[in-house]
Structure 1
Amino acid sequence: MNNFSDMLSKAKAMQEKMKQAQDQIKRIEVHGMSGGNLVKVTLTGDYEIKSIEITDAAKKESQEIINDLIIAAYNNAKENLKKKSAEELSKVTGGLNLPLDFKLPF
């Protein structure tokens, strides 16, 4: 029975570390760029856009191109956030590839 208690306490400790990692990830900010830095999007750890910067050169383009640049910059930021989130989770899990929303059964 001692092994089960030990396992349970380790699982609870891991759950707390996961919660701390999730809180840390929410505070992350990443940037995404497109069009040779014509558009820059800043994204928070919970995938909310914090800012969009459009250079004057980009503003001279058609609305369709500007829209595409914004989408590309957001997608770039999203990929950067996934990588950064995976790094933060890896620190907690010791390299296990657990999903960010991983929940222990208690």
Structure 2
Amino acid sequence: MRDIMGMMGKFQEMQAKMGEMQEELQRAEVSGTSGGDLVTVTLTGKGDMRGVKIDPSLIADGDAEIIEDLIIAAHADARAKAESMMNEKMQEMAAGLPLPPGMKLPF
């Protein structure tokens, strides 16, 4: 019975940490780039877009299709970084929990 109470305490602690982590991810920002840094997209850790920067030389060329492709590529780069950051935070949080091998968070 004592082990179950200890485990319940750990899970309550983990739940509080998850709430804190969610808030931290919303405040965190990651940037992805493409085209040799000609396009930069900034996202929150949860994937919400915060900004797009386009080098003026791209606009001067007037090739909208290239700009569109570079924005998509920069967004994908930023999204991958945000997901990586979230996975690292989850691993840190789960480090002290007695989870079975192969079980991942969130459940």
Residue 2 of structure 1: CA displacement? 2.1
Residue 32 of structure 1: CA displacement? 0.5
**Could you say what the CA RMSD is over the residues aligned between the two structures, in angstroms?**
1.9
Aligned residues: 101
What's 1:78 paired with? 79
Which ranges of 4 or more aligned residues in structure 1 deviate by more than 6 Å? none
The SS at the match of 1:17 is helix
Aligned positions of 1:27-106 closer than 5 A? 27-59=27-59, 60-94=61-95, 98-99=104-105, 102=106
Q: Unpaired runs of 5+ in structure 1?
A: none
Residue 61 of structure 1: CA displacement? 4.3
Identity score, percent: 36
Report the residue type matching 1:12 in the other structure. Q
Aligned positions of 1:4-15 closer than 5 A? 4-15=4-15
Residue 25 of structure 1: CA displacement? 1.4
TM-score, length-normalised on structure 2?
A: 0.83
The SS at the match of 1:36 is coil
Contact kept in structure 2, 1:40 and 1:73, CA below 8 Å: yes
Q: Per-residue displacement from partner, 1:19-66 (whole Å, max 9, x unpaired)?
A: 212221111100000000110001112211111000011212411111
Report the residue type matching 1:52 in the other structure. V
Contact kept in structure 2, 1:25 and 1:88, CA below 8 Å: no
